[in-house]
């Protein structure tokens, strides 16, 4: 089908298929019009010229289409904006006439789309639109094949039920695309609508279902303005159709016949080539099979060799291995213990699908998948990598604005600016408009408040109608997009009652956000189970939002080795780093597919230059440990003791190289505060008096003392000599 552009639109018969709908809509249009999925904007010429129309707003997700619309159809009181049915760029209750032709079938969740549309239409406003009928879709599919862009099909009953949930009155009209003979009385009014249509086939299929919805009085007026039905809207004389459509098709078929002859000759030659290629591929397939057999044999030989040598002697070699001086190489043992415990915890629960949260989940998933390959005879747990962050899941986890106190943010970040608040919701793109509505400049939004929840400016923002509309629109639209994204991981396309997720720790804030969203989207049966390297706070833990700290935890009592594993837990975050930026939000793209919008990857250079040099040798050693343990696993207590010894050395007796490496890495916060920070906290004078004062406050504990990410190193740098040794021995005693 020829593509409609501003240059060919006037001579293409496609205009009759689309423009007839706009002609009908123009008869009932008034006030402010929103034309959703306006494309290149040709409908604006028809709608905006009506006397009763005050403003036309064309909405479309395609940047290319909007650029063309603004170029060719710009006019007074005509505006083109980016948006979708789920995310409309206009105010609630501001639309008098909402137009949406052939749009609803592209949506993931029509019910939510219509609910959002209804909120934007004024109380006495009108919705007019159309969708392809289910019968017509089936006929097209038999002729042309499936349409991958049509996600929904509508029968009249389904459409009435959908619209009737939100509009007082719904009326459907049948739009039939037929070629026929128009017979009318030339002595009567020349308007074609007065002619009688003679339909020789009562089984004509409705190409589209045209709907009109709104309050009873407005719908009645609209039907009257449509001049009644049936009516025949003249498209073109038959001779014009033949000249513009039939003749080009005949010429095209003639050319196609010539091309088919040439193609058949080429295919004959290609057939011989394909036969030869197939023989080569069969040979390659045999080689690949032989390769796999060799790999399996090598694996068996490796395991046999390990058993012959004994795992004790091999562990002795592994534990004495320093990775060529790689900093924190012993982290491989701690990570192995976590993966080992994770696997058996999941097996005990019969988990089939497991989600690893970004970004630390990327290497953790690789480790878990590798571990599974050595579990011979066991059913594989399906693993998925879910791109989430505190920011991307925050807004979708929230309720309506008048119900929210934003406690998840404010329990940790109270001394922030309004702009930081908007960034945490990923709504900072609206900052300029909001500042204008508040009557302040943009820089004022960036001023840090000592206590933002009680700040007058923040309270005024909460009462702002523009903010409420932006908040609600984005909350709903992003929730729909995230649901579509999450469903894509399941073959059934539906969400189960339970989700199982893995993350590094420490409160499980992302899990809490996911749980709150899941309950709203899935109902009271929704459950989330989180499995963490470490837990140090409960967050929103509940009967249906459970969390386990598998390496260390102080929930319901401290686990063995807690103070060793918890010392400088930031090491886990540094070493377990993904190769992409942080997720900001979720959206539906122009093709109706869910998309994850990521932040700029600020840490890319640091990870490539500093982190990979450490994380890759750790991963290699982890794989060796897995192979050894597959032969004859150590008893749990012995494995824990060995791991604690290795981890204790890293955090309480690090090498100079390891300390220097920690100083070389940094972290970019993307929630609450948005700044880059290092992993050391060693500010302060190093003179004797300062060390005495620091030691006195540390021993007396008569004021809060910030020891930073690595307390042992802070004490060593800022306290009297020997106190760091006492501290490490005390922690070791606590972890016995």
Confidence of residue 170 (pLDDT cuts 50, 70, 90): very high
pLDDT (tens digit, 9 = 90+) per residue, 195-233?
A: 344 444 445 667 788 999 999 999 999 988 886 555 655
- Which residue would you say has higher pLDDT here, 246 or 176? 176
The fraction of the chain above a pLDDT of 70, given in percent, is 78
State the Cα–Cα distance between residues 507 and 540, nearest whole angstrom. Answer: 9
CA 488 to chain centre: 11
Cβ of 480: how many Cβ atoms within 10 Å? 26
Mean per-residue pLDDT, 18-38: 90
Per-residue confidence at 148, pLDDT binned at 50, 70, 90?
confident
Checking 112-117 for CB contacts under 8 A at 24+ apart, the result is 112/86, 112/476, 112/480, 113/85, 113/86, 114/85, 114/162, 114/163, 114/165, 114/166, 115/166, 115/476, 116/85, 116/86, 116/88, 116/473, 116/476, 116/477, 117/36, 117/85, 117/88, 117/166
Q: What is the pLDDT of residues 650-691, one digit of tens each?
A: 999 999 999 889 888 877 788 888 777 666 555 555 678 888
CA distances from 312 to 86, 315, 318, 335, 688 (A): 61, 5, 10, 20, 48
pLDDT of residue 16: 47
Residues 6+ apart with CB under 8 A from 89: 57, 59, 81, 82, 83
* CA dihedral of 84, 89, 92, 97, whole degrees rounded to 10: -70
Q: Which two tokens stand for residue 46?
A: 């028809």
For residue 11, give Cα distances in angstroms to 6, 150, 241, 243, 247: 10, 27, 11, 11, 14
Tokens of 450: 């000592």
Contacts of 39 (CB under 8 A, 6+ apart): 4, 60, 62, 65, 69
Confidence of residue 3 (pLDDT cuts 50, 70, 90): very low
Of 278, 256, 257, 275, nearest to 267 by C-alpha is: 275
Q: How far apart are CA 311 and CA 317, in angstroms?
A: 10
Higher pLDDT, 50 or 246: 50
Q: Please compute, for residue 316, the number of CA atoms within 13 A of its CA located in the half-sphere on the CB side.
A: 4
Q: Which residues contact 417 (CB under 8 A, 6 or more apart)?
A: 445, 446, 447, 448, 449, 452
pLDDT at 242: 53
How much is the pLDDT for 254? 60
Sheet holding 78-82, edge to edge: 78-82, 53-60, 31-36, 95-101, 121-132, 208-214, 169-175
Contacts of 122 (CB under 8 A, 6+ apart): 31, 93, 94, 95, 96
CA separation for the pair 736, 585 (Å, rounded): 44
Tens digits of residue pLDDT in 89-115: 888 889 999 999 999 999 888 999 999
- In angstroms, the CA 663 to CA 709 distance is 12
Give the integer Cα–Cα distance in Å for 588 and 91: 21
What angle (nearest 5°) sits at the alpha carbon of residue 29, between those of residues 28 and 32? 155
- At 341-384, the pLDDT tens digits run 999 999 999 999 999 999 899 999 999 999 998 887 788 999 99
Of 42-46, 334-338, 513-517, which range is least confident? Answer: 42-46
On whether the CB atoms of residues 438 and 460 are closer than 8 A, the answer is: yes
All structural domains of the chain: 9-235 (3.40.50.150), 331-386+475-598 (3.40.50), 681-736 (no CATH)
What is the predicted pLDDT for the residue at 718?
83
Question: Residue 281: its pLDDT value, please?
Answer: 44
User: The tokens of 670 are what?
Assistant: 């993307």
Of 336, 279, 290, nearest to 630 by C-alpha is 336
If phi > 0 it is left, if psi is from -120 to 50 it is alpha, else beta; for residue 718 that is: alpha
Cα–Cα distance, 277 to 594 (Å, whole number): 39
DSSP annotation string for 466-526 = HHHHHHHHHHHHHHHHHHHHHHTTSTTSS--SEEEEEE--SS-HHHHHHHHHHHHHH-TT-
Would you call 610 helix, strand, or coil by DSSP?
helix
The string of pLDDT tens digits covering residues 555-593 is: 988 999 999 999 999 899 989 988 888 999 999 887 888
Closest CA to 319 of 653, 574, 624: 624
Convert 453-470 to b/e letters by CB count within 10 Å (16 or more is b): bebeebeebeeeeebbbb
Spatial distance between the Cα atoms of 516 and 509, rounded to a whole number of angstroms = 11
503 or 305: which leads in pLDDT:
503
Q: What is the mean pLDDT of the chain?
A: 82
Reduced 3-state DSSP string for 12-30: CCHHHHHHHHHHHHHHHCC
CA distance 613 to 359: 18
In this structure, are residues 94 and 481 in contact, taking their beta carbons and an 8 Å threshold? no
DSSP string across 637-683: HHHHHHHHHHHHHHHHS--HHHHHHHHT-EEE--BSB--EEES----
Q: Which residue has the higher pLDDT, 634 or 594?
A: 594
Looking at per-residue pLDDT, the higher value among 174 and 681 belongs to 174
Contact between 505 and 532 under an 8 Å Cβ cutoff? The reply is: yes
Segment 497-502 shows an average pLDDT of: 96
The pair of structure tokens assigned to 569 is 């837990």
Q: How many residues does the chain have?
A: 736
- What is the band of 256 on the pLDDT scale with cuts at 50, 70, 90? low
Return the C-alpha torsion angle 495, 498, 500, 505, nearest 10.
110
**DSSP 3-state of 46:** helix
How far apart are alpha carbons 631 and 644 in whole angstroms?
22
């Amino acid at each position: 089908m020829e593509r409609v552009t501003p240059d060919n639109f006037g001579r293409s018969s496609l205009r009759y298929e689309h423009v007839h709908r706009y002609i009908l809509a123009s008869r009932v249009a008034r006030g402010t019009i929103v034309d959703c999925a306006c494309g290149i904007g040709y409908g604006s010429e028809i709608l905006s010229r009506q006397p009763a129309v005050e403003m036309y707003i064309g909405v479309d997700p395609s940047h290319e289409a909007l650029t063309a619309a603004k170029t060719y159809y710009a006019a007074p009181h005509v505006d083109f904006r980016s948006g979708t049915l789920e995310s409309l760029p206009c105010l609630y209750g501001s639309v008098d006439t909402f137009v949406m032709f052939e749009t609803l079938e592209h949506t993931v969740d029509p019910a939510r789309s219509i609910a959002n549309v209804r909120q934007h239409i004024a109380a006495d406003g009108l919705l007019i639109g159309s969708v392809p009928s289910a019968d017509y879709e089936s006929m097209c599919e038999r002729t042309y094949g499936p349409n991958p862009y049509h996600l929904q099909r509508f029968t009249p009953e389904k459409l009435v039920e959908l619209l009737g949930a939100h509009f007082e009155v719904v009326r459907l009209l049948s739009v039939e695309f037929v070629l026929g003979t128009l017979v009318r009385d030339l002595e009567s009014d020349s308007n074609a609508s007065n002619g009688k249509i003679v339909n020789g086939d009562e089984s004509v299929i409705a190409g589209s279902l045209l709907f009109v919805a709104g309050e009873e009085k407005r719908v009645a007026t609209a039907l009257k303005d449509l001049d009644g039905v049936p009516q025949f809207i003249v498209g073109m004389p038959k001779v014009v159709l033949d000249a513009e459509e039939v003749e080009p098709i005949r010429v095209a078929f003639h050319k196609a016949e010539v091309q088919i002859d040439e193609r058949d000759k080429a295919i004959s030659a290609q057939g011989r080539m394909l036969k030869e290629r197939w023989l080569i591929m069969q040979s390659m397939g045999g080689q690949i099979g032989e390769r796999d057999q060799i790999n399996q044999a090598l694996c068996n030989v490796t395991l046999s060799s390990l058993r012959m040598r004994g795992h004790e002697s091999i562990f002795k070699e592994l534990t004495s291995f320093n990775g060529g001086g790689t900093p924190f190489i012993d982290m491989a043992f701690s990570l192995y213990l976590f993966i080992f415990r994770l696997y058996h915890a999941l097996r005990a629960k019969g988990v089939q699908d497991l989600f690893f949260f970004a970004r630390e989940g990327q290497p953790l998933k690789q480790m878990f998948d590798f571990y599974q390959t050595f579990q011979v005879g066991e059913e594989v747990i399906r693993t998925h990598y879910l791109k989430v962050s505190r920011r991307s899941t925050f807004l979708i986890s929230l309720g309506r604005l008048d119900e929210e106190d934003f406690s998840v943010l404010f329990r940790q970040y109270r001394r922030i600016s309004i702009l930081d608040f908007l960034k945490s919701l990923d709504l900072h793109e609206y900052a300029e408009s909001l500042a204008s509505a508040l009557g302040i400049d943009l820089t004022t939004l960036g001023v840090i408040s000592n206590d933002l929840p009680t700040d007058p400016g923040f309270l005024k923002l909460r009462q702002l109608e523009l903010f409420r509309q932006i908040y609600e629109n984005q909350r709903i639209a992003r929730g729909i997009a995230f649901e579509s994204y999450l469903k894509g991981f399941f073959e059934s396309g539906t969400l189960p009652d339970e989700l199982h997720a893995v993350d590094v720790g420490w409160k499980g804030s992302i899990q809490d956000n996911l749980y709150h969203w899941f309950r709203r989207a899935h109902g009271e049966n929704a459950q989330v189970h989180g499995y963490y390297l470490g837990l140090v706070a409960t967050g929103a833990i509940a009967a249906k939002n459970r969390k386990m700290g598998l390496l260390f935890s102080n929930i319901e009592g401290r686990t063995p080795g807690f103070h060793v594993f918890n010392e400088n837990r930031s090491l886990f975050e540094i070493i377990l780093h993904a190769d992409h930026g942080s997720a900001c939000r979720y959206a539906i793209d122009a093709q109706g597919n869910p998309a994850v919008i990521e932040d700029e990857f600020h840490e890319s250079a640091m990870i490539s230059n500093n982190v990979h040099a450490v994380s890759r040798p750790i991963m290699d050693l982890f794989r060796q440990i897995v192979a050894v343990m597959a032969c004859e696993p150590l008893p749990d207590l012995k494995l824990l003791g060995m791991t604690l010894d290795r981890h204790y050395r890293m955090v309480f007796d690090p090498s100079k190289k390891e300390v220097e490496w920690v100083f070389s890495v940094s972290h970019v916060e993307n929630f609450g505060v948005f700044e880059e920070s290092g992993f050391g906290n060693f500010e302060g004078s190093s003179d004797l008096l300062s060390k005495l004062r620091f030691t006195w406050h540390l021993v007396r504990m008569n004021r809060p003392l910030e020891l930073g990410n690595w307390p042992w190193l802070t004490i060593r740098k800022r306290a009297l000599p020997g106190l760091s040794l006492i501290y490490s021995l005390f922690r070791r005693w606590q972890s016995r």
